[in-house]
């Protein structure tokens, strides 16, 4: 059974290697002379006096690299880049910020201020490229209420990510409390032509959730945000200053599609769900697994998602008797923080599987394509039918570790944590479930 864990790791790492952001950007953002084609729209660089770049997210550096390669030799632009780590090689004209994730830091705040200052100077002859990827919600932040401090904003983010709400609900609240989310970057440069390129870690059709939708019309409302705050008991977890601001009914509505700022605003998905599932599917089949893909469990509670995917795996096994089978799934599961341990939703997913797969010829891997899982230094974890027995021998209790939100520690002690370091990418979480014949 041990080889199944190794094969799951191989599928994950080969999938990561197949996701080449700069090369994909050159395919999808095509240039002929001075003309740039993005999706169904074509722009002539000669029509613009200035090119500006705003890159925010875990894939910001790779996206900037892809844009530079596409536009060369037209690279005399200015802009702001906010990412978790510094670039390997800085591009002249760009200001870089080493912002915080999953919690915004001082550079997250400074990056937001620099972006707003940049956009304020954009006019009708300015072309702005917004390069957005996952993690942008924390990597660029500034509160609508100017009286709030960074510490209070951090308190808000911590309350949101640990309350058990879905990512849609979390982003709804974020958008309505932020000066740079929910379409507000678009309205900061109303006359400019704006092209948003996305490396998306959100479901198809919900692109306004990517980095909390700073350049897209917001389909959610202030009433939605207030309902979510009440439903999850969030108000009491907010700072006194934010509570006062909310009590004074100062939450304005976010920009909607009718805003003039969106008339010359365009969105194109550079990498998304299919770009993650396809290479994983190909790799699993090349290793001899009959493979199916699933995206039905996105935003589900972690234990419900585990039950559903393991049941699907058993159904595949019954359907293809005598053959190895694989189930590949993506998306994010909901895993409320119930303790002060180390881990995230991916290692929690695997931990929740440990007892259910005990003694079976099954392996389960779940990991973030960004290389980061919650508050841990890992991307996720992998387990198989022998994990429960090995845990017992090591004095580890999966139920207790799950209750304390300490999944990363559990798997680290067994040597089954997945450690990649920051990958410079961020599509979606990837789950790989394998069953032997």
H helices within 48-149, ranges in order? 60-71, 106-120, 136-139
Q: Higher pLDDT residue, 134 or 280?
A: 280
- The structure tokens listed for 71 are 């536009």
* pLDDT band per the 50, 70, 90 thresholds, residue 204: low
pLDDT at 190 over 70: yes
pLDDT at 1: 42
Q: Higher pLDDT residue, 421 or 122?
A: 122
Picking from 133, 127, 136, the residue whose alpha carbon sits closest to that of residue 104 is 136
Q: Higher pLDDT residue, 165 or 366?
A: 366
What is the mean predicted confidence (pLDDT) over 152-163? Answer: 92
- Is the separation of the CB atoms in 191 and 265 below 8 Å? no
SS3 325: strand
> In sequence order, what are the residues at sequence separation of 6 or more whose Cβ sits closer than 8 angstroms to the Cβ of residue 315?
none
Instruction: Indicate where the chain has its CATH 3.40.1480.10 domain(s).
Output: 2-10+274-435
- Is the separation of the CB atoms in 329 and 391 below 8 Å? no
* pLDDT band per the 50, 70, 90 thresholds, residue 201: low
pLDDT at 202: 62
pLDDT at 208: 80
What is the mean predicted confidence (pLDDT) over 157-183? Answer: 92
Picking from 129, 131, 117, the residue whose alpha carbon sits closest to that of residue 83 is 131
- The structure tokens listed for 292 are 């199916």
For residues 352 and 343, give the distance between their C-alpha atoms in angstroms, rounded to a whole number.
13
pLDDT at 141: 97
Please give the CATH architecture assigned to the domain spanning 20-271: 3-Layer(aba) Sandwich (3.40)
| CATH superfamily membership of 2-10+274-435 | MOFRL domain (3.40.1480.10)
pLDDT at 2: 46
Write out pLDDT tens, residues 64-76: 999 999 988 877 8
Name the least confident of 41-45, 308-312, 346-350, 419-423: 419-423
Instruction: Indicate where the chain has its CATH 3.40.50.10180 domain(s).
Output: 20-271
Write out pLDDT tens, residues 353-378: 999 999 999 999 999 998 989 899 99
Name the least confident of 93-102, 115-124, 195-204, 249-258: 195-204
DSSP 181: S
- Estimate the crossing angle of helix 150-161 against helix 106-120, to 10 degrees: 110
């Amino acid at each position: 059974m041990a080889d199944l864990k190794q094969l799951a790791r191989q599928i994950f790492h080969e999938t990561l290697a197949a996701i080449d952001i700069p090369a994909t950007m050159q395919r999808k953002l095509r240039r002929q002379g001075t003309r740039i084609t993005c999706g169904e729209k074509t722009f002539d660089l000669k029509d613009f006096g200035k090119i500006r770049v705003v890159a925010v997210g875990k894939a910001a550096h790779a996206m900037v690299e892809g844009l530079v390669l596409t536009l060369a030799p037209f690279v005399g632009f200015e802009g702001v880049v906010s990412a978790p780590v510094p670039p390997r090689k800085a591009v002249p004209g760009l200001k870089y910020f080493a912002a915080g994730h999953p919690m915004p830091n001082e550079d997250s705040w400074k990056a937001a201020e620099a972006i707003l200052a940049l956009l304020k100077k954009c006019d009708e002859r300015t072309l702005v490229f917004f390069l957005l990827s996952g993690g942008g919600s924390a990597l660029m932040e500034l509160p609508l209420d100017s009286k709030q401090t960074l510490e209070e904003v951090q308190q808000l983010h911590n309350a949101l990510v640990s309350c058990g709400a879905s990512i849609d609900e979390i982003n709804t609240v974020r958008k309505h409390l932020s000066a740079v989310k929910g379409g507000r970057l678009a309205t900061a440069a109303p006359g400019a032509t704006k092209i948003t390129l996305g490396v998306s870690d959100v479901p198809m059709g919900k692109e306004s959730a990517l980095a909390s939708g700073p350049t897209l019309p917001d389909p959610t409302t202030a009433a939605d945000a207030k309902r979510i705050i009440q439903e999850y008991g969030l108000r009491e977890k907010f700072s006194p200053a934010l509570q006062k601001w909310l009590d004074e009914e100062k939450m304005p509505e976010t920009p909607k599609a009718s805003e003039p700022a969106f008339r010359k605003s365009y969105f194109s998905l550079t990498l998304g769900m299919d770009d993650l599932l396809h290479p994983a599917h190909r790799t699993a089949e090349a290793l001899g697994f009959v493979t199916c893909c699933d995206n039905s469990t996105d935003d589900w509670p972690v234990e419900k998602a585990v039950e559903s995917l393991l049941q699907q795996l058993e159904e595949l096994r019954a359907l293809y008797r005598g053959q190895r089978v694989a189930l590949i799934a993506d998306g994010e599961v909901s895993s409320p923080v119930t303790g002060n341990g180390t881990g995230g939703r991916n290692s929690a997913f695997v931990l929740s599987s440990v007892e259910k797969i005990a003694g079976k010829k099954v392996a389960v891997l779940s990991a973030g394509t960004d290389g980061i899982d919650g508050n841990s230094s890992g991307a996720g974890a992998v387990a198989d039918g022998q994990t429960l027995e090995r845990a017992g021998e090591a004095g580890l209790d999966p139920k207790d570790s799950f209750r304390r939100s300490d999944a990363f520690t559990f798997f680290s002690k067994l040597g089954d944590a997945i450690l990649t370091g920051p990958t410079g990418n961020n599509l979606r979480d990837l789950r790989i479930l394998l069953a032997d014949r």
